[in-house]
Structure 1
Amino acid sequence: MTTLDRLTADLTTSLKARDTLRTSTLRQVIGAVRHEAKAGAVERELTEDDVLKVLAREVKKRRESAQIYTDAGAPERAATEAAEADVIDEYLPTRLTDEELAALVDAVVADTGASTLKDMGAVMKEATARAQGRADGKALSALVRARLTA
């Protein structure tokens, strides 16, 4: 069962359970996936990786919105955004722990023979590919930068 199929099945379940938050969130996410498929000159079939990228982008949007609402003094809206992000996060692969991420970066630096910040692009490309969407880009970048400047 693909992630999109799972989203659709869970939407039906949440409708029957009258879970308004989950229903609303799943509708928004399914809409975002369909929009991504139709983006561009020709509609295309999204791969599983494409769907996961859309989900990760949606989680990131909601986490950023929650932070903005918190800073603006709107805790109710921040809580809603955070709850939506948590619902979407259930469909993403498990995130790498800090230790796993550090080990991955160390392995990539060793494999590529990188030693200076000039090599950061190559290291980031390989590390991102190996992480397969299970790591935050900012955290990965900061860790690579720290390893290459040490």
Structure 2
Amino acid sequence: MPEPSLIEQLRADLTTARKDRDKLRTTTLSTFLSEVKNKEIDLGHGLADEDVRGLLTTAIKRRREAAEQMRAGSRVELAEKEEQEGALLQAYLPPALGEDEVRSMIRDAISAGAKDVGGVMKAVMPATKGRFDGKELNRLVREALAG
């Protein structure tokens, strides 16, 4: 039997969360699935798993930024809720890459002929998308090129 698509998995988990009366999970998944549906309507077709992962990455980043703002405004309980939602969505992405793995990819890209930040980023980004923070990747690329 083929493995279910990411959207099917999210819908099944939403159903389970509703049955379990898990309010946080139900709210988070239904909100995210509505974002997916809106994107499908905008594009006029269904989304592949890769597209859904891109939306997940964006949703997680948005929640992380919101949590930082909440903490800055001394709204700790709201910040924790945003962080919990982000962690819940993170579970649907492939495991994060370690810094050593990313440094190795950067070295490979440089040895393959990439000479500037743009070239290295272009070579490494597809493999790290959704699995490693873009700002951190940029910092590592700059370190590798400087060193």
Q: TM-score normalized by structure 2?
A: 0.93
Q: What is the SS of the residue equivalent to 1:39?
A: helix
Aligned to 1:107: 108
Q: Say yes or no: does 1:33 pair with 2:36.
A: yes
Q: How many matched pairs?
A: 144
Aligned to 1:83: 84
Q: What 5-or-longer segments of structure 1 have no aligned partner?
A: none
1:102, 1:144 → 2: CA distance? Answer: 8
Mapping of residues 114-125 of structure 1, within 5 Å: 114=115, 119-125=116-122
Bigger Cα displacement from structure 2, 124-133 vs 28-37:
124-133
Counterpart contact for 2:95–2:131, Cα < 8 Å:
yes
Q: Say yes or no: does 1:147 pair with 2:140.
A: no
Aligned to 1:45: 46
Aligned to 2:26: 23
1:132, 1:34 → 2: CA distance? Answer: 22
Q: TM-score normalized by structure 1?
A: 0.91
1:85, 1:149 → 2: CA distance? Answer: 34
Give % identity: 33
Q: What 5-or-longer segments of structure 2 have no aligned partner?
A: none
Q: Could you tell me which amino acid in structure 2 is paired with residue 120 of structure 1?
A: V
Q: CA RMSD in A?
A: 1.1
Mapping of residues 57-68 of structure 1, within 5 Å: 57-68=58-69
Bigger Cα displacement from structure 2, 100-109 vs 10-19:
100-109
1:145, 1:122 → 2: CA distance? Answer: 12
Q: What is the SS of the residue equivalent to 2:112?
A: helix
Q: Could you tell me which amino acid in structure 2 is paired with residue 83 of structure 1?
A: Q
Q: What is the SS of the residue equivalent to 1:44?
A: coil
Aligned to 1:70: 71
| Runs of 4+ displaced beyond 3 Å | none
